[in-house]
Amino acid sequence: MSQRYVVIDLETTGNSPKKGDRIIQFAGTAIENGKIVDEYSTFIYPEQDIPVFIEELTGINNEMVKSAPVFEAVAPKIADFLEDSCFVAHNVLFDLSFLQEELKRCGFEGFYGSTIDTVELAKIVKPTSDSYKLNQLARDANLEHDRPHRADSDAYVTALLFIELKKRLQLLPLITLKQLYKLSFSLKSEISELLDVLISQKLTRSEVRRLDIETFRGLALKKVNRIDTYRENPSPRFPENHEERLKGIRRTKPEMEYREGQLKMMDTVYESFQESRDSMIEAGTGIGKSLGYLFPAAYFAKETHKTVVVSTYTIQLQEQLLQKEVPKLKEMLPFPIHVVLLKGRGNYLSLAKFERALRQKDDNYETALTKMQILVWLTETDTGDRDELNLTSGGLLFWERLQSDDHTYPGLLQPWSGADFYQRARRVAETADIIVTNHAYLMADLLSKDRLIPSEGYMILDEAHHLEQAASKYLGTRFDYVSVKTQLNRLGAYDQKQLLFRLEKMVREKKLEHVRPISVLEQSLNDFMYEFEQLFYMLAGKAEKHVKNEGPKAMAIKVKENGEWKQVTILAERLIEHLFLLAEGLAERVSALNQLDLGRNALFFLNELELLIVHIDELRLTLEEFFVHPSNYAVYWLNYIPSAPHHGLSLSSQPVSAASLIWETFFAAQKSVVMTSATLSVKKSFRFFKRLLGIENLDIKSEIFPSPFDFAKNMRAFVSSEMPEVNSISLEGFTDAASAHLIAIAKAARGRTMILFTSHDMLQRTHHKVKKSGLLEEYTILAQGITGGSKMKLLRNFQSFDKALLFGTTSLWEGVDIPGERLSCLVIVRLPFSPPDEPVTEAKCSLLEKQGRNPFTEHSLPEAVLRFRQGFGRLIRTDRDKGVLIVLDRRITASRYGKEFISAIPQIQWEEIGLNKMKEKIKDWI
């Protein structure tokens, strides 16, 4: 490969040169021998107006380019600049294809040399990066990037990034580089040529041996420090006096604030553990909830030499505890504390499986890319935890073939037993003072035969308002068209040379007799695949009638109550028979082969088939439960997406109540369970929450520690008197009025506004109307499920723009922490009642009706009030924040139950006023 690399970036009027879009700025930076040696940049007159959104993005306007040369004038210089070079760009396909079109338009041949995509290269070299956007990568590498979306700045920063990535590649062990090289021919850019150069350099010079790397069975791994199983044995005394406690903390952490609620919470947690009793603690925003339970947990663990388990609902809070709160805790304590993170087994890489996958040839792009990411990551990771990696969707699917599980033959794992990531995590956890985990893993472990977490233990359940939901999800089932087809497609027809072919080949090689012909298995598989598709077409047809013109929706499956489902049941019974015959035929062959003396590869193959048989049996039982013998104590539903009628269909189930599991797993088995959250009570009572968990009759200590913030001073709340009544107008009419209000509110608040919806359909309609109006063109409008990206990415983007609006649904009602002026206005479009026809809500309400209770007052209303409190909590995150709450649902003031919502949040000034007056008050207040 040429040692000259030319890094190119373009700014254009749009994405398609074939549709007439043109370049407005070209920039190139040349690199030789790891140094920048030349730069060329020019504005280009596009012979058309620059669109407004491009001007906002790049800062380049018509005035700046009107005297610039046209592309024809600079094309010779650009062609000369590219000659005998490797073309490098961040997302190379866009820049190269656009430049090619323009060069050809001007009579030049175009560029046909090697290319390197720095996005692709960064994914390999920095597999744990949060984002592969140029801004983020530059920030991570401490590269100054003061003018993003300007070609000269972007090209120069991309050049520096390329030099940095190349240096990181050079540091990798030779064995890793050689493995990357073999896989690199499946990539989209010529990274193979770069790797070839680096390998040659290492071979001609003596490689400096890295002391932090060890090689085992052909894999370079980060050398892990020996696990110290010795648990330090101090027996500190918990400082019960608040002044003494604060004084002790301030010796090492002098900035520690006095928070009465936090200190009282510490008392409650410590006393609960000491007295072996359960407690519920509601801790308002600003209390310092995490340290409020971690501090007493640390003292109790050290005093008693018992492990305390802290469980959260979200991975986000798990990571936050480890990365932010535990370091603070360690500063506060006068003794060392050992805190470890523990996740489900599937989160950890199986080195035995990865070793085998590396030896299997697979030209699939995402599979090759993921293998390359993992090879680099293995030189960096201590944990082997998938969440460290930034994988593509295809990479996540491939991970399922690599993850640790309890089905793999022990003999196949044996060579790697000492380095196994999951077993290492368990060994580290055995010596921990505090284990941080999540509700899903906690329940799985407590119900497992090979459990790590002891019974009769001490637990803190954070985000406890999600406990019932987590237990229901754990007991529930979910499957979809794509995942089932993907699993069974791995078998393939005999002539497709996949698993069935390989199995038959083994059977013939070993001369096995008395097994049913392969044609029988093929027939069962083909019949299943065909009729499974018919089932989903049938279900999609039912859902289409049910949802009419609405967006994505859940629809209850009621086989017992409705004769219309008879055809579905008949079809499901046939599918069950096909699966039974398929699993039986596969198991017969696998069992016969397992009696023979087989090599390691053959055993891995049989193990893979056994796991597939388990999945087939699970699917058979699931179909039977959904459509033939449904439980009276469970709810079944399908999730329908109109844009993907049957391919996008999924089916779910869960128990109507998970109370029995919660009782058996936690309250009957543990010495002390402390539940905490910012929202557990309704009208200062924990009755609703206790009923959800089935523990109404338990003697549980309950405490509410309100937020220390002065909401009356920092907040104003408005209800629009001009919004139509929710129940007196169509959804179309309501979203018309809502979009008009949101446009006015956004302008008054200068963006910085989060809008919370109760349904994605309403969000989509409102978002479309706001965008279509063209009245907020200077604002950045982000919408969950539309803009794209994860919740965290949406929040990052929202905070990075001065004038931004964020439209959100369910997950943005909580777990969002945006302190300061970036979020100054919160709009709640409708009171957050679950739709009465939502399957789980309908089932819970039906059960209450059968018990002679009022489903509205005992379920729908308290659930909505808690969700309203969660939404309200997004706005004021520090004592210096100032904000406005706007509710567009007039039921909050007009209905008899509206006062339940107002009284559920701290006392603030409410006004019901018209839109014009509201705009003025928003401007004055913010």
Helix 499-509 × helix 566-594 angle, to 10°:
40
3-class DSSP string for 355-368 = HHHHHCCCCCHHHH
* Cβ 509 vs Cβ 503: under 8 Å: no
Name beta bridge partners: 87. Answer: 6, 115
Task: Flag whether 477 is marked binding.
Answer: no
Element (H, E) at 884: strand 883-887
CA distance to 119, 487, 510, 895, per residue, from 590 (Å): 44, 18, 12, 66
Task: Flag whether 288 is marked binding.
Answer: yes
Q: How many residues are recorded in the chain?
A: 926
308-312 and 219-222 as β-strands: parallel, antiparallel, unpaired? unpaired
Side chain identity at residue 256, one-letter code: M
b/e code 432-442 from CB counts within 10 Å (16+ = b): bbbbbbbbbbb
Task: Flag whether 286 is marked binding.
Answer: yes
Task: Flag whether 285 is marked binding.
Answer: yes
- Quick count: other Cβ atoms within 10 Å of Cβ 459? 24
Task: Flag whether 107 is marked binding.
Answer: no
Name beta bridge partners: 764. Answer: none
Task: Flag whether 290 is marked binding.
Answer: yes
List, in sequence order, every beta strand (DSSP E) within 119-259. Answer: 213-216, 219-222
First to last CA, the chain: 58
Phi then psi dihedrals of residue 756, to 5 deg: -105, 130
Task: Flag whether 261 is marked binding.
Answer: no
3-class DSSP string for 423-439 = HHHHHHHHCCCEEEEEH
840: which DSSP letter? H
The C-alpha atoms of residue 762 and residue 199 are separated, in whole angstroms, by: 56
The C-alpha atoms of residue 677 and residue 830 are separated, in whole angstroms, by: 24
Measure the CA angle with vertex 344, ends 342 and 349; round to 5°. Answer: 95
Could you tell me the strand order of the sheet in which 634-640 lies? 477-480, 650-655, 634-640, 553-556
Task: Flag whether 283 is marked binding.
Answer: yes
Binding residues for ATP: 283-290
| Residue set of the binding site | 283-290
